[in-house]
Structures are given as structure tokens and as C-alpha cells.
Amino acid sequence: LRAALEARLAQRGLPLPVLWGNRNWTPYLNDAVVQAFQCGLTRLLAIPTSAYSSYSSCRQYREDWADALEDSGLAGIVTIDKVRPFFNHPGFVQPFVEGVRDAVAAAEADGLSRDQLEVLFTTHSIPTADAALSGGGDAYAEQHRAVAEYVMAQAAPEVAWQLVYQSRSGPPHQPWLEPDVNDAIQAVRGRRGVILVPLGFVSDHMEVMWDLDTEAVETAAEAGLWVRRTPTPGVHPAFVDALADLVAERVEGRPADQRAAVTAPGPWYDVCRPGCCENKRLGFKPAIAGLAP
């Protein structure tokens, strides 16, 4: 994805280097910041590979960037901004539309009718307290539902669907968003097949390949259901072009009414409000990239 984005930016007349940094694995964000500075780069634009608004998918990255600048000694020398949450950019959504269409066609080829199918849009569960504070209030779930509604309207409006969650962690007594994908599969009634759509993920990784391709598929098989998992955006040309477009928005200073978005409330904002998506359980931490600490 990094190489594909760098190539697409160059094709669009934006020959910018694309560096790679991770929160939980090498190369770490601190490594990326140091690498940028060593290359003479002091203004960075970050693209989190999470499309939605929440603490873990947005605010926590901004806290991590603040830590990276402090730990590297580059605070006040290197600046980091970010692209907007891109959940409703058409290039992010299009691969899911195609995936649902293809999965429905495959089910029909195997003898299932549309009224015998149910689409389960899956995303990472988060604590309900975090969800309530996301994007100013419940944005995390609302953004997913808006995208799911759009995908179904474009791909298969006659097919039933629901939003479900996966990969929860934390103490058992702590409330997280539900239903879990496996519970939802077991609760399916009057259907012969399910389609799993990893709406909360941009690429195949362990939480997709294990939680869905292994555990959820096994749950469906035990329930006697036909099952198909649709692809993540990955390096789909529409998604790569969407990321390049998000960069171009910031480079050009493109106004909101000229930015692409397929659902209400339109393109999400670049600069987060103070307190947006803050994790009240962990306490306040300074965050950068458009958020006053």
C-alpha cells in the first residue's frame, strides 16, 4: 500500500515520499519521525489506516505522534498534521460495494436467493464509553451504519443486513459494542447464507484472517450456513486513489464543499475539537495534529 500510494501521488503530480510507522511494531512512529527529519522533512501529513472516528482509531494516534516528537527530541522542529477520517470517501467505500455485489452473485450461483442471505458488516468492537465520546458523540457506530446503508443501497438493497462487532478485549465486566459477529451468526434465523463484510478494516491482517476467516467461518459452518467473506480495500485502485486524494485535499487547501463524500454529514473535519474522542478511563494525554492539548 505504501508503494502504491507513493506511485499514485507521483502520477497526480505530487511526488511526495511516503514513510511507514507503526504504533505496535517496527518501524515505530518514532522511527518514522526520525527518518523524516534525517531526510530533511519537517512537515509531515499522517494517514492513519483507520477510517472512522474513535479513541483507538484516531485520537490515540494523535497522542502517539505527540509522544514520538517528544521522545525523538523533535518537538517544535517537526510538525505533524493528519488527513480527515475517510469512512465516507467514495474510493474507500467502492471496494465494499463491489465485494457485496460479487458475494451476492456467488451465493445466487450456488442456488441461494437474496431473501435467504444476510450481510454482516463487521468492525472492531470498542468500549461503549469510548463509543459514546467518539467524534463528539456516538460517531463511531453512526459512521459505520451510514456506510453500510450506502453499500447495501448500491449493491443489494433487497438483502437483509446488520452491523456487528469483533475482536473485543479488555476485562469481561467492561461493556463493549455488541453483538459479536459469532453471536450474530448463531442468531441468524430464516436464512441459508451469510456474507461477512470487514467494513472497519483497510487490509487483511490477523484480526480479519483469524477472527473472520477462521473463527466466524467455522461458526457459520457449524450453523449449516453458506458463508463468504468480502475483500478489504487493500491496494484496490479506488482506495489507493482515495488516499492520494486525501493528501491532495490538504496540499491544495481544498474547501469542504469540494471534497468527496458519499454519506451524510459530508466530509469529516480535519481539525478535531478539544476533548474529541478522549479516553476518560485513561485520563488526559496531549495530542497533536489539529487538536489543542
Domain, as residue range, for 67: 2-86+237-258
Same-domain pairing of 95 and 67: no
Same-domain pairing of 62 and 143: no
Same-domain pairing of 107 and 224: yes
Cβ contact 135:275 at 8 Å = no
- Residue 246's domain is classified under what CATH number? 3.40.50.1400
Would residue 286 count as lying in a domain? no
Same-domain pairing of 203 and 118: yes
Same-domain pairing of 182 and 121: yes
Walk along the chain (293 residues) in steps of 10 and give the mean pLDDT of each run.
98 97 94 98 96 94 95 96 97 99 99 99 97 92 98 99 96 95 98 99 96 98 99 99 98 96 95 83 83 40
From residue 284, give the alpha-carbon distance in Å to each of 60, 221, 277.
11, 45, 11
Global confidence as pTM: 0.95
Give the phi and the psi of residue 6 in degrees, each rounded to 5: -60, -40
DSSP sequence for 41-106: --EEEE--S--S-SIIIIIHHHHHHHHHHHHHT-BTTBEEEEPPP-TT-HHHHHHHHHHHHHHHHH
Report the domain count for the chain.
Answer: 2
Would residue 172 count as lying in a domain? yes
Same-domain pairing of 60 and 191: no
For residue 157, the tally of other CB atoms under 10 A from its CB is 10
* pLDDT of the residue at 278: 86
Owner of C-alpha cell 468527496: 260
* pLDDT of the residue at 249: 96
Would residue 288 count as lying in a domain? no
Same-domain pairing of 107 and 58: no
Residue-wise over 230-246: b if at least 16 C-beta within 10 A, else e?
bbbbeebebbbbbbbbb
